[in-house]
Structure 1
Amino acid sequence: MTHPITPSASLTCSDLSFQWPDGTTVFDGLSCGIGPGRTGLVGTNGSGKSTLLRLLAGQLRPARGSVTVGGGLGYLPQDAPLDTALRVDEALGIAERRAALGAIEAGDASEAHFETIGDDWDVEERALATLGSLGLGDVGLDRPMGQMSGGETVLLRLAALLLERPDVLLLDEPTNNLDVFARRRLYDAVDSWRTGALVVVSHDRELLERVDRIAELRSGAVSVYGGGWSAYEEALAIQQEAAERSLRTADADVRRQKRELEETQTKLARRQRFGAKMQAQKRVPGAVSGLRKRAAQESAGKLRGVQEDELRKAREQREEAAEAVREDAEIRVDLPHTAVPANRTVLRLEELRLPFGELHDGTLHVRGPERIALVGGNGAGKTTLLRVLTGELAPLSGEAAVSVPLRFLPQRLNVLDEELSVAANAARLAPEATDQHIRAQLARFLFKGARAEQLAGTLSGGESFRATLAATVLATPAPQLLMLDEPTNNLDLASVRQLTNALGSYQGALLVASHDVRFLESVGITRWLFLDRDLRETTAEEVRDLLGAPESG
């Protein structure tokens, strides 16, 4: 599935400006260029990554500026609908050529069939080879789309683009909601990309390790860093250290300029008092005194002006230095009441059978502050198991017993009342806590002062997750078993880092369903359970083998 790199494959934005109909400015004069190879486009939620891809793909029109694409372009948007009534060959866009080939093989030599095929006589072979490279070799070209899983349909949409052999390929969050097997296949496709320029928007660190460069979209500008995600983080750390040094130097300069200005003003005030005293005692003639006074005022005014100008320059330099320092604030929270003694039974499953999914024999005992990962393919029953543990669903048979206070953070984040403030939501889940305690804890989740009064329905995606996490872990009684269902889906990398920090302070048992191996490793998973027909003990290394994932750097 590899082809020689197309040297001309590129994307160029020149003076690009774009606003939404409500007047919100996304870009104002953005210029950047992306050449051949694999580029990971990263940035916080709301920075404009998906909007930029839509502008590059021609789905949105800029208010000013231009986009230039070198070669043919393919675009895979997030969550694009696909008609389940289609056959696979129709979704791939090759149904007419297949029909023409069939007609010719049956003896119909109509000119129209030859025009339909053009030079693409091997279209079926290419289609099957492309499907095979994405792990869909057993799907078949005549299969109805309605019989395919969600992950398979994402890979099928990618196969349709690859069949077109685009010089430039844009992928927007392609691994969202993919299980471990589908992610591995997509990783393989990215690894084998050789046809031109590939740009992928993603929060998936495993995927971002596979690119040739990272392009960061921040404050309406794009900065490019060579290498994958680990190299980007190292470069960023060096850059941040230099920015913080510059800020400390600028702060010291502002303090020095303020001190010198205050000393000058004190000296001038002393001189003025002395001159007024001399005039009052008539030791100096009035005319001479007046001339001296005017000269002193002019001299003092110039001196003050010079020093005020120096202070203004120092403050401007300080502002520039402060802008270079990133404000990726960290969550710092203390959760002592979540602690679980090492010998306490937290959860007990005995011969559990789920109403949905593949779990036929779930037997599990959890004791103390264990941190357990639930991994497996889509449909294996991870979410169903968590919903059974909350009591939302009943098992087909067997027993599920939770013996400590439990809280569940679902994928859809439907914990908060959107009509209430962040503080009111936290108070609703912690009725025994004082308002002062709630606000002090919310501040540690970065909801300080007036931000705690913001309505939940007006929060951004990352803010909503942070508020939900805060309300969940601050609830009373304090959760000693915390269950998370795909918590990193749709989170930007700063939010993932904040979640990891918060979970570092959590002292209870943790049960996490996730396909994000790097996240699971970062929160200190102690047991890995693979869901197929039972809860099978596995290891991080075995999960990585399933993913074909590189080792953590």
Structure 2
Amino acid sequence: MSFSIVCDAISFEWTDGTPVLSDLDVAFGPGRTGLMGVNGSGKSTLLRLIAGELRPSSGTISVAGEIGYLPQNLPLATGSTVADLLGITAQRAALHAIENGDVAAEHFTVIGDDWDVEERARAELDRLGLGHLDLDRTAATLSGGEVVMTGLAALLVRRPEVLLLDEPTNNLDLDARRRLYAAVRSWSGVLVVVSHDRALLDLVDQVADLRDGAVRMFGGNLTAYEEALETEQEAAERTVRAAEGDVRRQRRELEEAQTKLDRRARYGNKMNATKREPKIVMGGRKRAAQVSAGKHRTMHAEKLDQARDRLTEAEQALREDDEIRVTLPETAVPAGRTVLTLPDLTGLYELRGGPEEDGEPIAELVVRGPERIALVGPNGSGKTTLLRSVADGDHPVPTGYLPQRLDLLDDSLSVLGNVRRFAPSAPVNEVRARLARFLFRGERAERAAGTLSGGERFRAVLAALLSAEPPPHLLLLDEPTNNLDMSSVRQLSQALSAYRGALIVVSHDLPFLETLGITRWLRKER
């Protein structure tokens, strides 16, 4: 196979010295590769290194062809437009200038051979369900899902040979996800995608598993990867059990050998005391017995050490990834208590039984007690705007808001410093104990927020939110599963299932919502 991306012994650490990758070797060839690993393993950093956004501290990266890169969060400059996101603003301006009679040479230089760039851009937008977007529309007015799909359209307009996608299904509604799947399915170049979306990962040709600073390749999609991993782990568990049995056996044989040697020593001492044989003979026998005993003990001790080494090696093959332990504050809300009243609503429907059911329009939203509300709807319908308006309002209970872009953190402060902003009176040791539950232990709690991966950033924001003083009785979560690995999604759903306050969740992840015990389903329409 000819490889289009080759990473040779690359290392990278953040400016504060925090290591991320060390002497990593990996190569990606033609086809679709799913890059997997637990949060913080370095997946997003690796994509940024390949894309050229970061430089490795050592090692080399070579890429054959132009690179198109879609990050987790597209930067939105103030006043930027859809055309800016598509990267065609300069070419559009040159085209319009020529159409208006300005034939300056610089306009032709800007256009090059892309005379149809505006038509291709509109065609890609339409293919991705964004045909309603005006190219001059301000990007700040787009929903999170519309921003992601516009970023993808920009890459498809450029037609790069290498496509890098980092959590591309974040914020996407079901229709947008289906369009993204179709685009990935039809991609004929090199594609590397980081995602926790099962449907997307079942479209890949191979899985690259980034774990403990090394990458292992597995042929096939996510389902094939999980089956191979399950078979591998079952074999590893059998090996561990056999190694544990060997250690017990060697320890028992060492103890039995020691018992025999002690018995012989007592017999020799008894013979020496009774002086039944000449002293020189007995002395020789004692020295020979001591040498023999020493060799015997050494042999059994070496066998025990070897058995322990085999056990350690077998245990290292087992996967026991750390999982976050989300503990939510005791925030019981009485069943009849009103926690939120939102009048004068338009485009909001209460669904009869689930996300696919019909609904009735409601003009006022009243939330009482520990209700669990799922807010669904297409991208651009105003779900985030509605949730933000709730967060900005005055309510009779403490309210916590987890925004889509996770912009609650001060990037210049450490994780510990950020959480203490929300809980200024909490003792440092108590804050550290809370952070440990979110896998920020020891020096990790001192890392600058600006160096965190998407999943780590989510954990830090959630830790800050749940440590707030006073603790929230109403939780507002906007796409909380974005950037989380599958293990963390499971832990989050378990924790939210035990939450005793009121909950409003915006999400397109229906399997996640169905684990939360949702009591009311609302849909927002444009």
Provide the TM-score with structure 1 as the length reference: 0.73
Partner secondary structure for residue 157 of structure 1: helix
Structure 1 match to 2:343: 352
1:170, distance to aligned residue in structure 2 (A): 0.8
The answer on whether the counterparts of 2:416 and 2:445 sit within 8 Å (CA) in structure 1 is no
Deviations 1:303-322 (A, max 9, x none): 22222121112111211222
The answer on whether the counterparts of 2:35 and 2:193 sit within 8 Å (CA) in structure 1 is yes
1:233, distance to aligned residue in structure 2 (A): 3.9
The answer on whether the counterparts of 1:345 and 1:365 sit within 8 Å (CA) in structure 2 is no
Q: Residues 116 and 513 (structure 1 numbering): CA distance in 2 closer, same or farther, change over 3 Å?
A: closer
The answer on whether the counterparts of 1:10 and 1:33 sit within 8 Å (CA) in structure 2 is yes
Match of 2:263 among 270, 283, 290: 270
Match of 2:241 among 241, 248, 253: 248
Match of 1:221 among 211, 214, 239: 214
* Letter paired with 1:375: V
1:522, distance to aligned residue in structure 2 (A): 3.1
Deviations 1:68-114 (A, max 9, x none): 32322222233342434455445434455555655666777777766
Structure 1 match to 2:46: 52
Match of 1:258 among 247, 251, 270: 251
Structure 2 match to 1:29: 23
How many angstroms apart in 2 are the aligned matches of 1:158 and 1:211?
A: 18
The answer on whether the counterparts of 2:402 and 2:461 sit within 8 Å (CA) in structure 1 is no
1:244, distance to aligned residue in structure 2 (A): 2.7
1:447, distance to aligned residue in structure 2 (A): 8.4
Match of 2:34 among 40, 45, 59: 40
Q: In the alignment, is residue 160 of structure 1 matched against residue 154 of structure 2?
A: yes
Q: In the alignment, is residue 81 of structure 1 matched against residue 81 of structure 2?
A: no
Q: Residues 320 and 385 (structure 1 numbering): CA distance in 2 closer, same or farther, change over 3 Å?
A: same
1:219, distance to aligned residue in structure 2 (A): 0.5
The answer on whether the counterparts of 1:358 and 1:381 sit within 8 Å (CA) in structure 2 is no
Q: Which moved more, 1:250-259 or 1:131-140?
A: 131-140
1:173, distance to aligned residue in structure 2 (A): 2.7
How many angstroms apart in 2 are the aligned matches of 1:142 and 1:469?
A: 37
Percent identity for Structure 1 against Structure 2: 51
How many angstroms apart in 1 are the aligned matches of 2:402 and 2:110?
A: 49
Q: Residues 205 and 130 (structure 1 numbering): CA distance in 2 closer, same or farther, change over 3 Å?
A: same
* Letter paired with 1:133: R
Q: Residues 268 and 9 (structure 1 numbering): CA distance in 2 closer, same or farther, change over 3 Å?
A: closer
Q: In the alignment, is residue 292 of structure 1 matched against residue 294 of structure 2?
A: no
Q: Residues 117 and 365 (structure 1 numbering): CA distance in 2 closer, same or farther, change over 3 Å?
A: closer
Q: Which moved more, 1:509-518 or 1:37-46?
A: 509-518
How many angstroms apart in 2 are the aligned matches of 1:79 and 1:138?
A: 22
The answer on whether the counterparts of 1:373 and 1:527 sit within 8 Å (CA) in structure 2 is yes
Match of 1:513 among 506, 517, 523: 506
Deviations 1:363-385 (A, max 9, x none): 45768876431123456245745
Partner secondary structure for residue 194 of structure 1: coil
Partner secondary structure for residue 353 of structure 1: coil
Q: Residues 108 and 371 (structure 1 numbering): CA distance in 2 closer, same or farther, change over 3 Å?
A: closer
Structure 1 match to 2:132: 138
* Letter paired with 1:287: I
Partner secondary structure for residue 75 of structure 1: strand
Structure 1 match to 2:479: 486
1:530, distance to aligned residue in structure 2 (A): 0.8
Partner secondary structure for residue 523 of structure 1: coil
Q: Which moved more, 1:327-336 or 1:148-157?
A: 327-336
Structure 1 segment 176-255 matched on structure 2, within 5 A: 176=170, 178-180=171-173, 183-184=176-177, 187-188=180-181, 190-255=183-248
What is the RMSD computed on CA atoms of the aligned residues?
4.7
Q: In the alignment, is residue 374 of structure 1 matched against residue 375 of structure 2?
A: yes
Mind listing any 5+ residue stretches in structure 1 that lack a counterpart? 1-6, 395-399, 430-434, 534-553
Partner secondary structure for residue 130 of structure 2: coil
The answer on whether the counterparts of 1:358 and 1:380 sit within 8 Å (CA) in structure 2 is no
Q: Which moved more, 1:215-224 or 1:32-41?
A: 32-41
How many angstroms apart in 2 are the aligned matches of 1:229 and 1:522?
A: 22
The answer on whether the counterparts of 2:398 and 2:470 sit within 8 Å (CA) in structure 1 is no
The answer on whether the counterparts of 1:38 and 1:199 sit within 8 Å (CA) in structure 2 is yes
The answer on whether the counterparts of 2:35 and 2:43 sit within 8 Å (CA) in structure 1 is yes
How many angstroms apart in 1 are the aligned matches of 2:198 and 2:240?
A: 30
Structure 1 segment 436-515 matched on structure 2, within 5 A: 461=457, 464=460, 467=463, 484-506=477-499, 510-515=503-508
Q: Residues 117 and 253 (structure 1 numbering): CA distance in 2 closer, same or farther, change over 3 Å?
A: same
1:393, distance to aligned residue in structure 2 (A): 0.7
The answer on whether the counterparts of 1:350 and 1:362 sit within 8 Å (CA) in structure 2 is no
